[in-house]
Amino acid sequence: MRLYLLRGFSLFALFSWLVVLPFAASGASVVYDNTDPTRDSGQYYSSANEFGDEITLDPASTARTMSALTFYYFYDGTSAGNATLRLYDNSGVGGAPGSLLDTSPLAPLPVPATAGHQGSLTWDLSGAIPQVTVPNTFTWTIQFSGLSGTAGLLVYGPPTVGSSFNDFWEDSGGTWSTHLISGGAVPGDFAARVTAVPEPGTLALGVTGLLAVVASAGYRRLRR
C-alpha cells in the first residue's frame, strides 16, 4: 500500500510540473504599462547608440519572471531593419545599467503598416530557458541596426502601471549617462508594456504544500 502511495505521490508531482505550473505561467499579469494611447506625447527618440528606460514594476504584484516585453516604435524605412533588446539590473556606477540579465535574438523590425510610421514589437520570454527573473527596478534597452530610415522609441506617459523616472539611459562609447527627451520639454517615458508571472519557486512551494497535505491524509487513512 505504501508503494502505491509513493507512486501516486510521484505521478501527482509530475502532473503538477507538466500541467499545473505551465498553466499558471500562462496567466501573466501586467506589471508595467506605459501604452495608454491617450498619453501619447506625439514624440519619439532616435539614436544609433543603445538606449533605454529604467522602470519600476507594480509594487502590488509579486510577478517577476518575465513573460513578454512590448514596445512601441517609429520607423520610416522602406525595408525591415533590426532591433536588439537587452535587460540590465542597475548595479552600475551611479545606478547605471550594470549586469546583463538577458538579451533578445536579433529581431526584424518590420515597416509599420499604420499611419504615421508607428508600430509595436513584442519580445516573448515565456519559453526562455532559463527563465528570466528581474528585480523590482531594472533597465530595458534597444539598439537599432540595418535600417533604411530613421527608427526610434515612442514617448508616452506617465505609466498607468508601475513607474519610471522622467529620463532615460544611453550608452555612448561604453559610458552610460542619463538624458531627457527634448531637454525635458517633453515629459514622459518610452512606450512599453511588461508582463510577468510569479517565480517558479513560489509556484513549486504551493504545489509541494498541497502534495504534503494529500500525502499526510492518505498515510493517516492507510493506518486506520
- pLDDT (0 to 100) of residue 40: 94
Cross-strand partners of 100: 88
Each residue's pLDDT, cut to its tens digit, for the chain (224 residues) gives 433 333 443 433 434 433 444 444 458 999 999 999 999 999 999 999 999 999 999 999 999 999 999 999 999 999 999 999 999 999 999 999 999 999 998 999 999 987 789 999 999 999 888 999 999 999 999 999 999 999 999 999 999 999 999 999 999 999 999 999 887 777 789 999 999 999 875 444 444 444 444 344 444 444 45
From residue 155, how far is each of 32, 88, 141, 199 by CA, in Å? 15, 21, 14, 30
- pLDDT (0 to 100) of residue 221: 42
**Domains of the chain and any CATH numbers:** 28-198 (2.60.120)
- pLDDT (0 to 100) of residue 129: 87
Type of residue numbered 188: G
- pLDDT (0 to 100) of residue 79: 93
Residue 113 · residue 119 · CB < 8 Å: yes
- pLDDT (0 to 100) of residue 210: 42
Q: What is the 3-state secondary structure (H, E, C) of 39-63?
A: HEEEEEECCCCEEEEEEECCCCCCC
- pLDDT (0 to 100) of residue 26: 56
Please give the backbone phi and psi of residue 187, each rounded to the nearest 5 degrees, phi first. -75, 145
Residue 70 · residue 107 · CB < 8 Å: no
- pLDDT (0 to 100) of residue 222: 44
